[in-house]
Structure formats: structure tokens, C-alpha cells
Amino acid sequence: MNLKAYIQENPFFLAPMAGVTVKPFRSFMREMGCGVMTSELVSARALKEKNSKTLPLIEFEEHHKPYGIQIFGESADIIAEGAKRAEDFGVDFIDLNLGCPVNKIVKKGAGSALLKDLKVLKKVLSALKSSVNIPVSLKIRTGWDHQTRNSDQVAQIALEEGFEWMSLHGRTRSQAYSGKADWNYIKQINSQTALRIVGNGDLMTGEQACSALKWSSCFAVMIGRACLNDPWIFLSAREHLEKGLKKKSRKSVLSKDYNQAMTCLKKHLENFYEERLFLLHLKKFAVWFSSGFPHSTEFRRKVFRERHKAFVIEIIEDFFNKNQSFKKTLPVYEPFLMQGHG
């Protein structure tokens, strides 16, 4: 696959989100127009040791391509071995997570902890690059904290080591999810380096994603949490991009009908999960999509209380039917969405 040509056509990446971008959700998002996607972060050690719990997290369909497995690890050797194993699955690239702020991962010296020691980082990137024959990329935060932001140095090392692109979430590790992603910094880093930069953080609408892409001149931009409020965000971003290029406007696959979107997602969830997990995921996604609509708190309580498949589906359909003509506003993220792994 010609990754560069693909990305020029669709520069809107789906951000990896642990517990969210599960295989059926990726299938759904692909139908909803997203570009390059990766698995959620998986442990390089678990891959190396062929841990059976990791396999469902990285499974993919051919139509997910371009698709990469995202790994994290605490040493160059483990990362290289995990990457080799990931390559065997026939993916298009390996993405290294250096952004994860979560204590459990950072304490092991993995995730964003590697941003603190650039000598070790160079060894890790070099080992990863030479362990596989497919492209490699990395995903980072702007730095450990505001005083030590060092994305320019990280980009330089990644460039020297032959990395394909670097996704940059515009927050430091210390910020976790507070404050705003610093797009001025992302733009500055992009202008200083020859490495391709994928800008990420707080893009809420398709129009915003398209403007951020043009304004920052990044190679691509990455969208995460917003697709749980507005699953049409990728189609909308592409429409804005194409309108700007004066091409014929893309016809949306689905109109902004949440029940239609749920039907599409339901089909993918049903194909992947047995009934208990199917219902759990269906409820979870329906509740995220319901955020911003009137009476969503009541809906959440009702849907989580219900156990029978047919009734769960009925409650969901009923809720979105009632809200069909309501125009949602921008999302206020749930506490859960303020503590992700990158």
C-alpha cells in the first residue's frame, strides 16, 4: 500500500483509544470515512509472549487498512521483539506509543517516560526501526512538562532513525487531559522539522479538523474523542477539505440520523461479540452518542438497567427517534474520556 498517497487523499487519522477503538468500532469508523487507524496500545512484551488476551485487541479486517498496531514497552529489546511479532500479522505499519501518561505504564519506564531520556529514546527508536521491514511511526505528547517540552528533539531523532511520521498530542504528560491542546506548538514543531507531523488534540468538528490541518500545514491530523459525540466528523472533515479544493462534494454515507449510525455499529458489534459483550458495548456507545441530547442522563440510567437485548435496542431507538430534529452542541467529555493512554 502506498501510505503517503492514501494519506494525501484522506489526512484524517482515527486516534487510538483503549477500550473505545475496538475492532467493530474501527469497522464502523471506516464506514464513516476515517483515514489511517491503529489498534489501541498493546504491550510489546505481551505480543512477544503471545499472550492470548492481546489478540482480540489487535485483530483487524482488510478494510481497516491502512492499519497499524500500536505498541508500548519498557526497553529497546522488548519493543523490537514485540514489533517483529506485530509485523507478522500483516499490518501496514507499527506505531510506538510514547505519549501514555498513565502511572502504571510510566513507572515501568514506558509511554511518555521515554520522553525524559533522549539517549535511551534513540536506542529504542533505532532498535524498533531495524527490527521490522514495514514503516514505523511514533505518537508522543509535547513533553514531560511545560518546562521540558522537547518535541523538536524527539522529531529530530525520529527523522534520523527513519521514522515515517510522528503524531503529536498537543499536551504535556503533566497536563493529562487538562487545559487545551497547544496547536501553536504543534504548528511550530511542524515548521521546524522535515519529519511528517500528525497534529492531535481537541478537534471537535469536521470544520475544525480541516482548518487545523490547513492552518498548521501538518501532514495529517488525528481525531479521537469527538467521534463519540459526532460519528460523522470524518465525513464532514473530508467534505470541508474537498469543498476547499473545489472538488465535487462527497455524499455522506449516512445522514445525521443516530439510529442509522447505531444500526451500522450494531451490525459490526454483533459480528464480533457474544451477547453479553455485545450489549455492554452497544449500551456504552449509545450512551456516548446520547451526550448533548435532552434527557441523556435519564436515558443512560434506563439503558444500563435493562438486560434484555430486544428492550435495550428498543430504548435506544426510541431515544434517538425522539431527538431526531434536535441539533446537538459541542461535547463536554465524560470523566472517563479525560484519562486516556496518550
Q: Does 24 bind ligand FMN (CB under 6 A)?
A: no
Q: Which of these ranges, 27-35, 283-291, 306-314, 333-341, lies near ligand FMN under the rule CB under 6 A?
A: 333-341
3-state secondary structure the chain: CCHHHHHHHCCEEECCCCCCCCHHHHHHHHHCCCCCEECCCEEHHHHHCCCCCCHHHHCCCHHHCCEEEEEECCCHHHHHHHHHHHHCCCCCEEEEEECCCCHHHHCCCCHHHHHHCHHHHHHHHHHHHHHCCCCEEEEEECECCHHHECHHHHHHHHHHCCCCEEEEECCCCCCCCCCCCCHHHHHHHHHHCCCEEEEECCCCCHHHHHHHHHHHCCCEEEECHHHHCCCCHHHHHHHHHHHHCCCCCCCCCCCCCHHHHHHHHHHHHHHHCCHHHHHHHHHHHHHHHHCCCCCHHHHHHHHHHCCCHHHHHHHHHHHHHHCCCCCCCCCCCCHHHHCCCC
Q: Which of these ranges, 18-26, 185-193, 245-253, 310-318, lies near ligand FMN under the rule CB under 6 A?
A: 18-26
Q: How far is the CB of 124 from ligand FMN (least distance, A)?
A: 16
Task: Report the residue number, 82 or 323, with the smaller CB distance to ligand FMN.
Answer: 82
Q: Does 169 bind ligand FMN (CB under 6 A)?
A: yes
Q: Does 16 bind ligand FMN (CB under 6 A)?
A: yes
Q: How far is the CB of 99 from ligand FMN (least distance, A)?
A: 5
Q: Does 203 bind ligand FMN (CB under 6 A)?
A: yes
Q: Does 193 bind ligand FMN (CB under 6 A)?
A: no
Residue numbers 43-72 binding ligand FMN by CB under 6 A: 70
Q: Are 223 and 234 in contact (CB under 8 A)?
A: yes
Residue with cell 529497546: 76
Q: Does 206 bind ligand FMN (CB under 6 A)?
A: no
Q: Does 18 bind ligand FMN (CB under 6 A)?
A: yes
Rounded (to 5) percent helix, strand, coil in the chain: 50, 10, 35
Q: How far is the CB of 181 from ligand FMN (least distance, A)?
A: 6
Q: Are 137 and 148 in contact (CB under 8 A)?
A: no
Q: Does 20 bind ligand FMN (CB under 6 A)?
A: yes
Q: How far is the CB of 321 from ligand FMN (least distance, A)?
A: 28
Among 3, 7, 15, 96, binds ligand FMN (CB under 6 A): 15
Q: Does 17 bind ligand FMN (CB under 6 A)?
A: yes
Residue numbers 83-142 binding ligand FMN by CB under 6 A: 97, 99, 139
Task: Tell me, yes or no, if 34 is annotated catalytic.
Answer: no
Residue 271 neighbours by CB distance under 10 Å: 12
Task: Report the residue number, 64 or 315, with the smaller CB distance to ligand FMN.
Answer: 64
Among 23, 64, 122, 225, binds ligand FMN (CB under 6 A): 225
Q: How far is the CB of 19 from ligand FMN (least distance, A)?
A: 6
| Residue 143 CB-half CA count within 13 A | 13
Residue nearest to ligand FMN (CB): 340
Task: Report the residue number, 169 or 319, with the smaller CB distance to ligand FMN.
Answer: 169
Q: Which of these ranges, 43-51, 145-153, 154-162, 198-206, lies near ligand FMN under the rule CB under 6 A?
A: 198-206
Which residues are designated catalytic? Answer: 100
Binding site for ligand FMN (CB under 6 A): 15-20, 40-41, 70, 97, 99, 139, 169, 200-203, 223-226, 337, 340-342
